[in-house]
């Protein structure tokens, strides 16, 4: 990938896609192709073919996806399956048909079995049952990983995939029902502080364990892999640091300055008990995450405060 390459970032308005665009621009890549959802619906095969045929990108980052937290994944499995599978099928196949030199497919650590041995190695894929709350999303993402492998095998393409742990950062979705835990707790604690509510509700038992990565670190890893990695095995992207949801709540409380009580809503799902990826494969290639967790949380809270009107719906 050189500075003149034509690079298509699918999903450039999303958390991961926007960070990839930022990273590429910082690094001097100027020939970037981006299309809003309105201009190009990636679930429509004919439109995707027309776009790839006309633009003929050299490199493609597939960061387009329908994503959400544990509750919305569980509530809308048909939508999560259909949208993510359609995007996956259309973009990967078009990349092959229209001669893309290299493609990176963005997955998620929820593709691994629910009870995978920790830290989770890439080889664990498809060795056990999936977590039920995100089975639909995981199946679509597993299909993407496998499509990359199968297209490489049958057609000799250079398609790779990576599996980041839970992402967070500025520009995240702060919607109370659909968001992931980090933006959800930032918003809940901030609102409880502002209204002097005295308590804030978090979902589940607080015992599940998660590993979080700042969005610019995922973008950095994606660009790094596009430059330095080719191969069939997927690549985990993580930090090696994990927290229980209870510990996470304590960290976010301190950053936001909410001193009230935490109440648990046990009608909401816990999801996977633990999800720590083994990132030694990418570490061995020389890549490391850069943003310490509390710093990332502070940046995300600052972004929430600056753009609160928009996130809170006005």
The single residue among 82, 270, 291, 312 that binds ligand GFB, judged by CB under 6 A, is 270
Q: What share of the chain is helix, strand, coil (3-state, %, to 5)?
A: 45, 15, 40
Among 10, 21, 73, 90, binds ligand GFB (CB under 6 A): 73
Backbone angles phi, psi at 281, to 5 degrees: -65, -50
Q: Which is nearer to ligand GFB, 57 or 271 (CB)?
A: 271
Q: Assess 184 for contact with ligand GFB (CB under 6 A).
A: yes
* Shortest spacing between CB 135 and ligand GFB, in angstroms: 9
**Shortest distance (Å) from residue 118 CB to ligand GFB:** 14
Query: Quick check: 50 and 108 in contact, CB under 8 A?
Result: no
Q: In this structure, is the dihedral angle defined by the CA atoms of residues 200, 203, 209 and 213, taken in order, positive or negative?
A: negative
Q: Which residue, 272 or 300, has its beta carbon nearer to ligand GFB?
A: 272
Looking at residues 217 to 256 of the shown chain, list those that interact with ligand GFB (rule: CB under 6 A). 245
Stretch that binds ligand GFB, among 15-23, 53-61, 230-238, 267-275 (CB under 6 A): 267-275
Nearest-5° Cα angle at 259, 257 to 260? 135
Structure tokens at 255: 């950053």
CB under 8 Å to 227, separation ≥6 — which residues?
1
Rule CB under 6 A: is residue 144 a binding residue for ligand GFB?
Answer: no
Query: According to the binding rule CB under 6 A, does residue 108 interact with ligand GFB?
Result: yes
32 vs 28, 35, 60, 62, 274, CA distance in Å?
10, 10, 10, 14, 37
**Cα–Cα distance measured from residue 183 to residue 212, given in angstroms and rounded to the nearest whole number:** 12
Residues 7-66 that bind ligand GFB (CB under 6 A): none
**Nearest to ligand GFB of 32, 235 (CB atom):** 235
Nearest to 294 by CA among 254, 244, 234: 254
Catalytic residues: 137
- Residue 35 or 180 having the CB closest to ligand GFB: 180
List of residues contacting ligand GFB (CB under 6 A):
69-71, 73, 108, 110, 133-134, 137, 166, 179-181, 184, 202-204, 208, 210, 245, 268-272
């Amino acid at each position: 990938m050189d500075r003149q390459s034509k690079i298509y970032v699918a999903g450039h308005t999303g958390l991961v896609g926007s960070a990839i665009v930022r990273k590429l621009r910082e690094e001097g890549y100027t020939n970037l192709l981006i299309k809003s959802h309105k201009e190009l619906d990636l679930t429509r095969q004919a439109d995707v073919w027309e776009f790839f045929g006309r633009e003929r990108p050299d490199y493609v980052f597939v960061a387009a996806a329908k994503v959400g937290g544990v509750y919305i994944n569980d509530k809308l499995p048909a939508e999560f399956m259909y949208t993510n599978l359609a995007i996956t099928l259309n973009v990967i196949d078009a990349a092959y048909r229209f001669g893309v030199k290299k493609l990176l497919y963005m997955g998620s650590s929820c593709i691994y079995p629910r009870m995978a041995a920790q830290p989770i190695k890439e080889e664990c894929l498809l060795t056990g049952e999936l977590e039920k709350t995100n089975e639909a999303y995981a199946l679509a993402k597993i299909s993407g990983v496998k499509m990359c492998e199968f297209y490489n095998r049958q057609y000799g393409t250079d398609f790779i995939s990576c599996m980041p742990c839970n992402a967070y950062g500025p520009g995240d979705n702060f919607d109370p029902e659909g968001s992931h835990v980090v933006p959800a707790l930032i918003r809940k604690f901030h609102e409880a502080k502002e209204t002097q509510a005295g308590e804030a509700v978090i979902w589940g038992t607080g015992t599940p364990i998660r590993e979080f990565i700042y969005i610019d670190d995922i973008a950095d890893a994606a660009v790094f892999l596009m430059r330095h990695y080719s191969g069939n095995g997927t690549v985990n992207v993580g930090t090696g640091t994990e927290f229980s949801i209870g510990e996470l709540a304590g960290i976010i409380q301190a950053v936001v300055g909410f001193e009230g009580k935490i109440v648990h809503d046990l009608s909401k799902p816990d999801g996977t008990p633990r999800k720590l990826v083994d990132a030694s494969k990418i570490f061995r290639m020389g890549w490391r995450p850069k943003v310490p967790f509390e710093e990332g949380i502070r940046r995300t809270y600052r972004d929430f405060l600056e753009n609160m009107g928009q996130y809170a719906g006005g």
